[in-house]
Amino acid sequence: MFVDVHAHLDDKAFDGDREQVLENIRAAGMLVVTAGSDVETSRFSVELARKYDFVYACVGVHPHEAGKAPKDYLEELKELAKDPKVLAIGEIGLDYYYEFSERRIQQKVFLEQLELAESLNLPVIIHDREAHQDTLDIIKKSGISRGLMHCYSGSVELAQEYIKLGFYFSLGGAITFKNAKKPKESAARLPLERILLETDCPYLTPEPFRGRRNDPTN
């Protein structure tokens, strides 16, 4: 059985035909873990998981949304995480490529959510874009010891650090792109039992479907 460990089924790209996409996932006999990006989409993800037995959820505030997080966001996430179908806190992390939220705010919101995950005994789903050192430092500071480096784009050497910390990796559709040197190297050299499958849909559509909307059945 295939498990897509990182999808965004809440995304507006699915608004027109979400039920059909979900039926296709059911027909494919797979499981999907859908991740929130803020409080609202986290709540939506939990609702989807309640409605569909093959859907599981993660709740969290993405670094892009960190600057807009409401004051009580940790309380909200904690409440949502009580649902037994919530598997992790995510997607959380740092994004210095787009830097939609100030770095200082991203770091604060990231650490707070790592600490929340630790207190709830849940793993984390990490987004790290061009913020490798700070991501590693903050994870170490938090004491968290279980998680997934989603759409992993770091080096194999950095991956060894994460393996020591108890982390797993997913590479996503980027692995099919011609110029994706690091993901291909990671796939070749990381232990197979540390690699999970993800789409990050609707983003990162793999070849030969690139340019179209991605979905878990890819």
Q: C-beta of 11: minimal distance to Ni ion in Å?
A: 9
Our CB check for Ni ion shows the closer of 6 and 43 to be 6
Q: C-beta of 91: minimal distance to Ni ion in Å?
A: 5
Residues 68-97 close enough to bind Ni ion by CB under 5 A = 91
Q: Is 69 helix (H, G, I), strand (E, B) or coil?
A: coil
Q: C-beta of 200: minimal distance to Ni ion in Å?
A: 5
Our CB check for Ni ion shows the closer of 10 and 200 to be 200
Mask for 170-209, x = binds Ni ion (CB under 5 A): ------------------------------x---------
Q: C-beta of 37: minimal distance to Ni ion in Å?
A: 8
Our CB check for Ni ion shows the closer of 97 and 119 to be 97
Q: C-beta of 7: minimal distance to Ni ion in Å?
A: 8
Total number of residues binding Ni ion (CB under 5 A)?
A: 2
- For residue 192, give both structure tokens: 């197979």
- Closest residue by Cα to residue 84 from 119, 125, 56: 56
- HEC secondary structure over 116-160: HHHHHCCCEEEEEECCHHHHHHHHHHHCCCCEEECCCCCCHHHHH
Single-letter amino acid, residue 152: Y
Single-letter amino acid, residue 20: Q
- Closest residue by Cα to residue 89 from 71, 109, 67: 109
How far apart CA 78 and CA 22 sit, in angstroms, is 27
Residue ranges binding Ni ion (CB under 5 A): 91, 200
